[in-house]
Structure 1
């Protein structure tokens, strides 16, 4: 034992010779600091000096009795410091001010906020745990994290935050450190600690390195017992002490001494290191040269309380060399015992003064020489800033670690080839993860009470995402798999291609005996909402995996390992400020949506906003109908009406134009021979797409199938039952004679052309395009666009004939039709002509939610590229997003609507660029994309409910007014 101690002291002595450190508590205005400290020291009695040694627990969620107790500690026993525990920020601020008013010398306020004030206080911000941060390889983010914690602490009147934990967690079974450590690498732990310290102390808040001399390799919790570390001096010096030596060099202001039993440092087996002079004075101060504030770990912990009485422990801690006694259990008894020690000279006044001076220097360092009360107003808002949300997202994005990616399966590509299931393991919430997965494609949640049943249900799927979700409440919660879950994991992986995503400590993977059949493996570290959302986005290539393991997983995955994934240019889902937009300004949309609903312009709506490929608003408002029974959800689908033109017909026309199947210069007779010898035969594709082909706006085909007097549908054309003759379904219990389709095209072909040359918006050209496309590709329009675009885009909620794919309650009703179909239209296209074609029209018939519309518009904005796949050439997008008849005052491009040329026309807000493009729909739909601003905007509603006479939305120009709000929300 003696040999170990001597060896350790020899090493430490060598270090001390080469590292004479500066005083971290010394301020730039150190002369003024010394004067302030001296003035207070000279005015203090012995009792007042002794009082400075105590940091007492204070709560903001207890009663007046507790408040009186704290006030007594301050006024009678001159306690100089408080550590605030549980409560709320408002109450803590109030009590802080009250207690400071009672103190003769300003109080040093401490707090245990390793991952933010949320560690103790309700309604405050929570950042990730250190283990998560340890996976980050950009240490500037850790500095930023430290700054944010410092700003929060400063705002609420905290002067010393007991962070960071700089224990090197080399023991996976450590019950108390674990997730609180940056990891097992002393270099990584040190780099993170230094970055954090610099950040927090730059905001005027003392950092606190804990738990000296190192609590990372224990299998016991010092809250409950005295852990033993049987390491020799060389081992301690090379690992446990390494971060301390380095952080001392950069000015760490304070250290917390741990309650440990380390025989190589302290031969007395019953004496905790926190009470050992060998450790606190000889090693920490003299050999390592630390001159900052030394604070004990909580003196209410069993690692300390088992040693002696509370008063004896407090005295021993001071005699050992500590400056500040954290959470003393008997202040009156301790004061009496310390005074007795001064009388008997077992403690000198010089020694007392030494610690008191350091405490006062710390107070000056923290700004208490210019004490100001905490401002209570807006404190909760100031502690939950949008800047904190932004940083949190960046921390998570940089931490999530990809460990295995067989055959490059991640991110998931070729969505048209995938049938994906999600299976949950663990016992915590998974809602945010599943919701985000479903933003990208169809993902089915599959579950069963027994394994055989689950395996059977998974048979149709070729991809299984397994999410392991454990509690995110605090870092000490169990992170382990159950035996049943381990069996299920291996059996599913044996049968299927599996991606395992772990929302728990990476140490949980130590239980997995084999990773052989697990093709994709991700560690997301925590089960927070942000972690779930970001991790799901990594799976689909919207965000790249960047993290590296902070700890080793046996011999399979070593510390520092992590793969980098690919960005596929799919939507990322984030917050407005991430793309230079204002959440506050966008919030005005909520009031506008309320106006739309309250004034019955529409029963409900969806609004979607993305900028630069990042979705910043995806929100649903109101209900399916005015009876307010079914709220609108983001997944609900609307009848898009004329948005069909640019979301279904147009991408296929672009494809056909690239393949020279339907050139822009072609005439209608070229693409559809049946139009030869008609008055439209020489009209070009370019003219029709530009609405410059002199076609009529529309033809009410359905009226020719009704009695001209009664308006009833004629039996010649309709039947309530399907038959060989009546086989085209128009609506519920309404089938039209299949021969009538020929009549529609005959009417179009024979319809008079407009005599006046110029712009006239027309649906008729898209009837023609539908036939031409189907002729060219020998497939129905709905199948063509689904197979060529929607499936691979992940637009699984975009479809014609939605009742074949979705439950009725997922489809927002459109209109109560009293003029043709005489029923509520729900899942049947509103447009009469499209309905007469069986629900699939080139001009109408498409249903979708706003998210899917956004994907297609983003594909256009990205010049034909999305999700790792090129759909269209950039030059094709440019060709179609161009006005060819602007001299004739036609604002339209090819298919796309463009900003108005006439200021009196309200096609847009008038605030978008000339490069922008979009379309509007009769049912109350609208979408617009702007290459200059990077914005994609989608507005979906059923404004025609209860009937199409409801024109409030159109008269109010609400769709374009919201567009103006979105544009105005851009702040940089």
Structure 2
């Protein structure tokens, strides 16, 4: 006892240093504040004063009986404060305005929104939990988080939000704090709490530090019982009280007292700390010098209600030194008991006045001296702004924590060498995780009811990504592995190369006995849609990992663990505002899309937009055909037509030029011996790529294989079955004589050149380039480009001959051909010449989805670099993205189309820079990149459906109209 007294005396001396702390409730115009408070309190009756001590529970999802009850509380008992619970924002605003209108004094509205309004209200924004935020190094992001929550509260008429939780969660078994804590490190918790407080209070919303004196090292939930903390005063001062002292210096407006039993502070083991004068008055106010508002934890919690009757508890709380009674259970009885205590002189009116003055000061601080009803217009939009999601994404991005990366598998590189499987553990969905990973490469979901069956199915894979997914409903949901999951995890890791991504509390890892066989380990903290999507992007190198573990995992990973990873310059999938583009302005694309569909310019299409490496829009519209049976999906493949030139032939030409297999000035006769004596012998590579080589636009080769009168395909050229003679598959059940390929090149070689020099867009040069490339590399064009570019780019949905890799359901039909193949072209190239080459042309034949086209265009935009790999030299890309015959009025670069030089031509919207480049395709495709704005825009459609006579898309310039909208949406 003597030792305890000495400790108290010592701490008393230390605490005296803090006893004269600032009053956090004082405003800058404190003189006016004082006048306002005096004018009110001097005219209040005792009943009115007592009424100010209550903060009653109000719901916006209950019936009229409840609303009548609240009305009675305000009118009859002068209740001065409400805490809104479950419901909807619209109904809360309605009730808020109604209750304020009937109250003699403005009501202070409270709310319990630790991670945002979503904690209580439907259709509102949910930010990450504190444990997730505890992993973030940059405290300014947490300050922004507090600011956004403050904005939401202010918009809804909330004046005090019961946050932040400042409990230091040093007990992993804590059943009620856990994810609600910033972690186990007192310094990290404190800094995060300060940042949150400053952000929220900057918006005129009172913060509330809870749960005093510290609920972080309990193994019981005070909602159900009275937790006991058997720590001495020195330990409490060092850990639990640490953040409060720092927060008081920074002006936190209020504190919530917890229902705990702490023998070293209160000798009565039955008396909760919230009702203890030793704790609330002596420690909190006198020794720690806190001058702000003191509020009890909910008085409906078992940690308090087991002590005495509701009224006796309320009276004890006031006598202990609390100012506000949160969720009192019996207001009438409490009023009577307080009056009785005043008569008995166990409570003074002066004591009541102290609390009432503080409450009124808080109301003035929150702006209630100039109360105005809450506006109902645009409420939902104001509570769910793009800026909120933008911040949410930043918070998650900066929290993701890599704590093991033994073989540097994070981020995943060298996609051409990877065969990746995903295995789900846990009892919640990982669908968003898988869907996002598939934006980067092929991911196969592998599952089985039995472990042996699963391991057998995993044999072909050289990397297994395991997602552990648990419920994200609320932070105290179970995060633990089942025994079966733990066994499966270890067995998979024993046999395969593994990355484990934990979408749950880091405490779940305490169950894992060994991490020896797990190569990569990521903690993503929560299983939200955004956490899954953003963590998938981290795995594939869209950005670096920055998070630090906010709690320790036994001796394996100490608190603060966190490895940095590499940014591979792959796409990041996000929202427009992340790249300074207005999502509101981009909505105009939807109106254009509706016109395209309504006017039947195309049955469906895909649009892809990226800026500065960030994908802002990846949307699919309409159906595969006019029958409207299958909707277009982001993964579906379109016939790219002439985009093949810049997406297949051109990168190989650029590679060949780098490797000195040809130069821009090389003439055909020098690289293609068969052309030595032709009229094209002196045409250079540069001229062909610039469409300045006097080549004819195209040759309808197929017509020479048809009856000139009937248009029927001649049997000497075609057969319905494949045989030794008929080997070139032109379409379903249609095979061309294998010798006809030679005839095509003979036609090209011998056909007359155009008489006039000058610009003329031509396909013929790319027939020639195909032959040159295949000769130089001794490999078919489609295999060469796939091996050199597509596989490592993760463009696994870009291919020639798509029916060899994909089902028809994944390929959009192109045209009902009634002039040559006489069938629906579904998975077969639309271009007749490319079809006669077996589906692989230098000018046409490529199929892809918009996402993959975007990757290739981004590689060009990044001067030949993407996904951690350099495909082309910077100077090569620059060399090809240049006009060489602009003085001859040729707008083309080398292979790339460039912006129009003639205003009558509509190659672009006319709004892009001269540095920009791209191409368009006959089937209704378009791809454009602009180094100046950082934009990549892809439009894929089957506008030639049902026939190529459908020219509405071209005549209306819809593709470039969309390009203009994108440009206008930039808000730099």
**Cα distance in structure 1, aligned partners of 2:120 and 2:244:** 26
**Cα distance in structure 2, aligned partners of 1:49 and 1:250:** 30
Q: Counterparts in 2 of 1:825-904, with a 5 A limit?
A: 825-904=825-904
Give the structure 2 partner of residue 579 of structure 1.
579
Give the structure 2 partner of residue 248 of structure 1.
248
Stretch moving more, 733-742 or 1-10: 1-10
CA offsets per residue over residues 681-735 of structure 1, 9 Å max, x none? 1100100000001111111111111111111111101111111111111111111
CA contact 1:609–1:938 (8 Å) conserved in 2: yes
Q: Counterparts in 2 of 1:747-758, with a 5 A limit?
A: 747-758=747-758
1:16 shift after superposition: 2.2
1:2 shift after superposition: 7.1
CA contact 1:12–1:288 (8 Å) conserved in 2: no
Give the structure 2 partner of residue 74 of structure 1.
74
**Cα distance in structure 2, aligned partners of 1:289 and 1:965:** 58
Give the structure 2 partner of residue 519 of structure 1.
519
Give the structure 1 partner of residue 23 of structure 2.
23
Give the structure 1 partner of residue 263 of structure 2.
263
Shift in CA distance, 9/113, structure 1 to aligned 2, threshold 3 Å: farther
1:648 shift after superposition: 0.1
CA contact 1:5–1:264 (8 Å) conserved in 2: no
CA contact 1:5–1:265 (8 Å) conserved in 2: no
1:533 shift after superposition: 1.1
Q: Counterparts in 2 of 1:675-690, with a 5 A limit?
A: 675-690=675-690
Give the structure 2 partner of residue 541 of structure 1.
541
Aligned: 1:472 with 2:472: yes
**Cα distance in structure 1, aligned partners of 2:449 and 2:62:** 45
Unaligned runs of 5+ in 2: none
CA offsets per residue over residues 512-552 of structure 1, 9 Å max, x none? 11000000000000111111111001001101110000000
**Cα distance in structure 1, aligned partners of 2:342 and 2:18:** 36
1:885 shift after superposition: 0.7
**Cα distance in structure 1, aligned partners of 2:926 and 2:657:** 26
**Cα distance in structure 1, aligned partners of 2:630 and 2:407:** 44
Paired residue secondary structure (1:518): coil
Aligned: 1:824 with 2:813: no
Give the structure 2 partner of residue 211 of structure 1.
211
Give the structure 2 partner of residue 735 of structure 1.
735
Give the structure 2 partner of residue 437 of structure 1.
437
CA offsets per residue over residues 399-442 of structure 1, 9 Å max, x none? 00000001212111100000001111111121211111000011
**Cα distance in structure 2, aligned partners of 1:810 and 1:427:** 30
Paired residue secondary structure (1:727): strand
**Cα distance in structure 2, aligned partners of 1:336 and 1:815:** 85
Q: Counterparts in 2 of 1:762-841, with a 5 A limit?
A: 762-841=762-841
**Cα distance in structure 2, aligned partners of 1:29 and 1:696:** 82
Alignment RMSD: 0.8
Q: Counterparts in 2 of 1:331-730, with a 5 A limit?
A: 331-730=331-730
**Cα distance in structure 2, aligned partners of 1:352 and 1:586:** 57
CA contact 2:725–2:737 (8 Å) conserved in 1: yes
CA offsets per residue over residues 322-341 of structure 1, 9 Å max, x none? 00000000000000101100
**Cα distance in structure 1, aligned partners of 2:286 and 2:896:** 77
1:101 shift after superposition: 0.8
Please report the TM-score for the alignment, with normalisation by the length of structure 2. 0.99
1:26 shift after superposition: 1.0
Paired residue secondary structure (2:726): coil
1:922 shift after superposition: 0.3
**Cα distance in structure 2, aligned partners of 1:5 and 1:32:** 44
1:32 shift after superposition: 1.0
Paired residue secondary structure (1:468): strand
**Cα distance in structure 2, aligned partners of 1:7 and 1:429:** 53
CA contact 2:19–2:286 (8 Å) conserved in 1: no
Paired residue secondary structure (2:828): coil
Paired residue secondary structure (2:884): coil
Paired residue secondary structure (1:56): strand
CA contact 2:168–2:189 (8 Å) conserved in 1: yes
CA contact 1:829–1:835 (8 Å) conserved in 2: yes
1:598 shift after superposition: 1.0
**Cα distance in structure 1, aligned partners of 2:17 and 2:519:** 53
**Cα distance in structure 1, aligned partners of 2:897 and 2:404:** 46
1:236 shift after superposition: 0.4
Shift in CA distance, 31/218, structure 1 to aligned 2, threshold 3 Å: same
CA offsets per residue over residues 880-912 of structure 1, 9 Å max, x none? 011111111111000000001110000110001
**Cα distance in structure 1, aligned partners of 2:28 and 2:2:** 43
**Cα distance in structure 2, aligned partners of 1:3 and 1:271:** 23
CA contact 1:299–1:328 (8 Å) conserved in 2: yes
**Cα distance in structure 2, aligned partners of 1:395 and 1:7:** 42
Paired residue secondary structure (2:369): helix
Give the structure 2 partner of residue 141 of structure 1.
141
Shift in CA distance, 8/233, structure 1 to aligned 2, threshold 3 Å: farther
CA contact 2:471–2:479 (8 Å) conserved in 1: yes
**Cα distance in structure 1, aligned partners of 2:752 and 2:571:** 46
**Cα distance in structure 1, aligned partners of 2:760 and 2:268:** 96
**Cα distance in structure 2, aligned partners of 1:358 and 1:826:** 75
CA offsets per residue over residues 369-410 of structure 1, 9 Å max, x none? 111111111111111111111111111111000000012121
1:18 shift after superposition: 4.6
Unaligned runs of 5+ in 1: none
Q: Counterparts in 2 of 1:38-53, with a 5 A limit?
A: 38-53=38-53
Aligned: 1:159 with 2:159: yes
Shift in CA distance, 319/235, structure 1 to aligned 2, threshold 3 Å: same
**Cα distance in structure 2, aligned partners of 1:469 and 1:13:** 51
Give the structure 2 partner of residue 929 of structure 1.
929
**Cα distance in structure 1, aligned partners of 2:932 and 2:37:** 60
**Cα distance in structure 2, aligned partners of 1:501 and 1:849:** 28
Aligned: 1:962 with 2:945: no
**Cα distance in structure 2, aligned partners of 1:955 and 1:833:** 25
Give the structure 1 partner of residue 183 of structure 2.
183
CA contact 1:114–1:165 (8 Å) conserved in 2: yes
**Cα distance in structure 2, aligned partners of 1:624 and 1:19:** 74
CA contact 1:782–1:840 (8 Å) conserved in 2: yes
Shift in CA distance, 869/521, structure 1 to aligned 2, threshold 3 Å: same
1:20 shift after superposition: 2.1
CA contact 2:41–2:357 (8 Å) conserved in 1: yes
CA offsets per residue over residues 124-145 of structure 1, 9 Å max, x none? 1110000000000100111111
CA contact 2:814–2:824 (8 Å) conserved in 1: yes
Please report the TM-score for the alignment, with normalisation by the length of structure 1. 0.99
Paired residue secondary structure (1:240): coil
**Cα distance in structure 2, aligned partners of 1:18 and 1:360:** 25
CA contact 1:143–1:199 (8 Å) conserved in 2: yes
Give the structure 1 partner of residue 169 of structure 2.
169
**Cα distance in structure 2, aligned partners of 1:548 and 1:611:** 29
1:12 shift after superposition: 4.0
**Cα distance in structure 2, aligned partners of 1:336 and 1:692:** 98
Aligned length: 972
Give the structure 2 partner of residue 290 of structure 1.
290
CA contact 2:19–2:287 (8 Å) conserved in 1: no
**Cα distance in structure 2, aligned partners of 1:19 and 1:126:** 38
Give the structure 2 partner of residue 116 of structure 1.
116
**Cα distance in structure 1, aligned partners of 2:520 and 2:6:** 51
1:3 shift after superposition: 4.5
CA contact 2:407–2:520 (8 Å) conserved in 1: no
Aligned: 1:324 with 2:321: no
CA contact 2:256–2:295 (8 Å) conserved in 1: yes
